[in-house]
Chain A
Amino acid sequence: MTAGAFDTIETAALPASEAQKFEERAFGFWIYLMSDAIIFALLFATYLVMLGNTAGGPTGQLLFSLERAAAETALLLLSSVTFGFATVALALNSRLRVIQWLLVTAVLGVAFLFLEYGEFGGMIAEGAGPDRSGFLSAFFALVGTHGLHVSAGVIWIFVMIGQVLTKGLTSPVASRVMRLGLFWHFLDIIWIGIFSVVYLPGLT
């Protein structure tokens, strides 16, 4: 498939220096995301190494809930799609729709965090916190780092809603929303790894 399949438009209305600035920022942000992917890869590797080191404590089989993991997965996947809708509204220059879809995305993100904080809180209350075993340290490091990213993403979404409200859909604001989109879609990709490496194998 080529780009044509997605009904792309030219955004060449900008002066060349402006356009180049946004290109450079998009590329720089992409480099950041790739380095972040390496960090997550190492956290995944650490988790796999520590999987058996439960120190007589609980295993994933006892601690994980398939229903909760499925609900978290659904929320993040839907939020990725609703963020996509926000960027489509951005391309169509519809300010109200951009704000509406960013709000929906933020609500889905908060719901995800609510489930995750609930899971972490429940585990710690049962004495299955990160201090219990090497396995649990690695679990909290991996899933917690992802959760921190999502938390930062939710804050960033609210910041961008504020900028769209106060500054309007200017090119700098639009380029920031697009970089936030890269970040948000990237986090959903990391989550595919988390449910496929942590939750599903842990409950198999």
Chain B
Amino acid sequence: MDASGLPVVRNTRPYLIGLGLAVLLTAIPFALVATGALPRTTTLIIIAVAAVLQILVHLRFFLHIGLRSTPFENLAALVFAGILIVFMVGELCGSCLTSIIA
């Protein structure tokens, strides 16, 4: 994403790279749940890690967020929303995970 709000990406490469990475990061957790190959707690941790990575892949390759190309105001809003989300949900996820493990 750049400041202009107008189309600037002229080749499909970022979308194809994003698709490849997203398929990989989706297939791993789905396969683990389908096969039950790993213990439940391990599977849950891998699901969480794959989700965070996939969100980063989408932000980078589909929304074209870049530390230099994206305007500071947009990055600041994204980081601010991220911090609020961690405050509101992060703590809860931690306690949920603890109760699942226990």
Measuring CB to CB, which residues of chain A are less than 8 angstroms from any residue of chain B? 1-3, 5-9, 11, 19, 22-23, 25-27, 30-31, 34-35, 37-38, 41-42, 44-45, 48-49, 51, 66, 69-70, 73, 77-78, 80-81, 84-85, 87-88, 90-92, 171, 174-175, 177-179, 182, 185-186, 188-189, 192-193, 195-197, 200-201, 203-204
Q: Which of B9-41 contact A (CB under 8 A)?
A: 9-16, 18-19, 22-23, 26, 29-30, 33-34, 36, 40
CA distance A33 to B4 in the complex (A): 17
CA distance A17 to B58 in the complex (A): 31
Kindly provide the distance from the CB of A53 to the nearest chain B CB, expressed in whole angstroms: 13
Please state if B6 and A41 are interface contacts (CB–CB under 8 Å).
no
Is chain B's interface secondary structure helix, strand, loop, or mixed overall? helix
Category for how many chain B residues contact A: 35 or more
B102 in the interface, Cβ–Cβ < 8 Å?
Answer: no
Q: Which of B23, B29, B59, B92 is close to A200, meaning CB atoms less than 8 Å apart?
A: B29
Please state if A85 and B3 are interface contacts (CB–CB under 8 Å).
no
Measuring CB to CB, which residues of chain B are less than 8 angstroms from any residue of chain A? 1-16, 18-19, 22-23, 26, 29-30, 33-34, 36, 40, 43-44, 47-48, 50-51, 54-55, 58-59, 62-64, 66, 68-69, 71, 73-74, 77-78, 80-81, 84-85, 88-89, 92-93, 96
User: Chain B residues near A42 (CB, 8 Å)?
Assistant: 88-89
Most buried by A among B7, B11, B74, B77: B7
Is chain A's interface secondary structure helix, strand, loop, or mixed overall? helix
Please state if B3 and A23 are interface contacts (CB–CB under 8 Å).
yes
Please state if A38 and B68 are interface contacts (CB–CB under 8 Å).
no
Please state if A34 and B3 are interface contacts (CB–CB under 8 Å).
no
- Closest chain B residue, CB of each to CB of A203: B33
CA distance A51 to B93 in the complex (A): 12
Please state if A34 and B63 are interface contacts (CB–CB under 8 Å).
no
Please state if A48 and B93 are interface contacts (CB–CB under 8 Å).
yes
- Closest chain B residue, CB of each to CB of A179: B5
Please state if B4 and A37 are interface contacts (CB–CB under 8 Å).
no
If A2-B69, A34-B78 touch, does A174 touch B15 (CB 8 Å cutoff)? no
If A88-B12, A192-B51, A196-B50 touch, does A81 touch B3 (CB 8 Å cutoff)? no
Please state if B6 and A11 are interface contacts (CB–CB under 8 Å).
yes
Q: Which of B44, B58, B81 is close to A188, meaning CB atoms less than 8 Å apart?
A: B58
If A49-B92, A200-B29, A204-B43 touch, does A90 touch B50 (CB 8 Å cutoff)? no
Please state if A201 and B78 are interface contacts (CB–CB under 8 Å).
no
User: Chain B residues near A45 (CB, 8 Å)?
Assistant: 88-89, 92
Kindly provide the distance from the CB of B4 to the nearest chain A CB, expressed in whole angstroms: 5
If A84-B62, A196-B50 touch, does A38 touch B5 (CB 8 Å cutoff)? no
